[in-house]
Structure 1
Amino acid sequence: MTVTDTDATSGVPGRASRQAYDRETVLRKCVDVFLDHGYEATSVGMLSKSLGISKSGIYHHVSSKEEILEVASDRALAALEQVRDRCEAMEASWVDKLEYLLRETVRLAVEERAYVTLLLRLRGNSPVEMAALGRRRELTRFVEDLMLKAQQAGEISPDVNPQVQARLQLGMANSVVEWFAPEGRTGVAELQDNVVELVFRGITRG
């Protein structure tokens, strides 16, 4: 639902607000402020000023700053968990599953950039952050298990460390939130191809 707030400057009820946001827009704009200033350093007052609505306009959609963080981190995690579930259900080789998961992780890093970036910056300073980090660790363990099974099946080199490889691959996929420009000359599909090529086939000839 879209809400017309009280005037953000005068606070006079009934006066048209400078902005009217639905819940999705409020969440996204709040996440942008978190990314600019840091979650811990951001107050509801800062969010109100940045969005151009009163605090009550924000509280119409969420009960607290912590709820914003919880909903935002869940958005990124739920999308990644759906990828994991689809990967798990695939009738494919272990390497094919790994490639699918890697491609989808890259795609989500681009399409859900703000939410994934916020998730990657969590440090476990609150129960909400700890819960999110726990879910993220489960996803990492899933990739480690895929790597191990691929190794046991002879699909990847016996010389690599599955735990290290899982973190390296996820780290590379997630790093695109910091530098990739979707509006640039390189598209998402080409980005995915390059990540997969580097991980599974390397870049040297022979």
Structure 2
Amino acid sequence: MPHPDPGPRRRRPPYDLDRLVSVSARVFGERGYDGTSMADLARATGLTKPALYHHAEGKEHLLRLALERAVVPLVAIADESLALPGRAADRLRYLVTRQVGLMIEVRPYMSLLTSVRGNTETGRWALKRRLAFEDTVTALVAEAVDEQDLSPTTDPRLVGRLLCGMVDSIAQWHESPDGEDIARTDALQLADAVIRLACAGLRAVPGSPGRGARPPQRRPAPNELAVESSCD
């Protein structure tokens, strides 16, 4: 008597390189690159080590592929911001908004980029490009100071680092207690908060002292405590 056809068996979908890079970025984020072995990656993917080596040369190759998902668009944002017409303050706002959007869109890869160290060739490559991006932010801040849209007492290098650090921190802190994905958060809302916090205290004020001068100390009036956007 013939047995009834049970139908096609369900099989785990085969791993392609895209899924492998995604899982690798998650494991690197959880264990750190140095604390992750190919055996760890094999367990996380459910593949054998030979199968992993079929897709990638090793864990540094997977690290490079994961970091490229953050570095390549980050470099593009910097280039776009420098090429745009208009005042530097507007281009700085554009850059921060795009950077925050990228942090939300590809958070695991951006988070990995913020934690990478220069102890491998890939790590040094990524750090070099992170510093180049920071240089772009610094250049825009300096240009905005020259255009008198930011206070002449502004230190462009310091502010550039602070802006990058504020955006980088989104990867660590902006998750709800129940683990909802950060992608549900409005990128424009986050970017506006960064700009407001940074720029409201930096805007050039008519009659303000020159670069290096110490501003007079006084208590603010109650109506001055509200923070307003200054890069509009």
| TM-score higher than 0.5 | yes
Which residue matches 1:141?
Answer: 135
Q: 1:180 deviation in Å?
A: 1.6
In the alignment, the residues of structure 1 paired with residue 138 and residue 186 of structure 2 have an alpha-carbon distance, to the nearest angstrom, of 28
**What amino acid sits opposite 2:169 in the alignment?**
S
In the alignment, the residues of structure 2 paired with residue 183 and residue 128 of structure 1 have an alpha-carbon distance, to the nearest angstrom, of 28
Q: 1:177 deviation in Å?
A: 0.5
Distance 1:56 1:21, change over 3 A: same
Q: 1:152-163 maps to which residues of 2 (within 5 A)?
A: 152-163=146-157
User: Which secondary structure state, in structure 1, belongs to the residue aligned with residue 86 of structure 2?
Assistant: coil
Aligned: 1:56 with 2:50: yes
Q: 1:145 deviation in Å?
A: 1.1
Which residue matches 2:208?
Answer: none
In the alignment, the residues of structure 1 paired with residue 111 and residue 153 of structure 2 have an alpha-carbon distance, to the nearest angstrom, of 32
Retained in 2: the 8 A contact 1:19–1:53?
no
Which residue matches 2:197?
Answer: 198
Q: Alignment length, in residue pairs? A: 191
Aligned: 1:94 with 2:88: yes
Which residue matches 2:24?
Answer: 30
Q: 1:121-140 maps to which residues of 2 (within 5 A)?
A: 121-140=115-134
Once the two structures are superposed, residues 123-143 of structure 1 have per-residue CA deviations (whole angstroms, 9 ceiling, x without a partner) of: 211111111111111111111
- State the identity %: 32
Q: 1:151 deviation in Å?
A: 0.8
Q: 1:204 deviation in Å?
A: 3.0
In the alignment, the residues of structure 1 paired with residue 77 and residue 186 of structure 2 have an alpha-carbon distance, to the nearest angstrom, of 21
Q: Unaligned 5+ residue runs, structure 1?
A: 1-15
Per mean C-alpha deviation after superposition, the further-off stretch among 21-30 and 179-188 is 179-188
User: Which secondary structure state, in structure 2, belongs to the residue aligned with residue 197 of structure 1?
Assistant: helix
Retained in 1: the 8 A contact 2:145–2:152?
yes
In the alignment, the residues of structure 2 paired with residue 55 and residue 204 of structure 1 have an alpha-carbon distance, to the nearest angstrom, of 59
Once the two structures are superposed, residues 88-118 of structure 1 have per-residue CA deviations (whole angstroms, 9 ceiling, x without a partner) of: 1111210001111111111111111111111
In the alignment, the residues of structure 2 paired with residue 27 and residue 204 of structure 1 have an alpha-carbon distance, to the nearest angstrom, of 47
Aligned: 1:170 with 2:169: no
Q: 1:205 deviation in Å?
A: 2.6
Which residue matches 2:211?
Answer: none
Distance 1:165 1:25, change over 3 A: same
TM-score (norm 2): 0.77
Q: Aligned Cα RMSD in Å?
A: 2.0
In the alignment, the residues of structure 2 paired with residue 178 and residue 83 of structure 1 have an alpha-carbon distance, to the nearest angstrom, of 22
User: Which secondary structure state, in structure 1, belongs to the residue aligned with residue 20 of structure 2?
Assistant: helix
Which residue matches 1:6?
Answer: none
TM-score (norm 1): 0.86
Retained in 2: the 8 A contact 1:124–1:133?
yes
In the alignment, the residues of structure 2 paired with residue 56 and residue 39 of structure 1 have an alpha-carbon distance, to the nearest angstrom, of 20
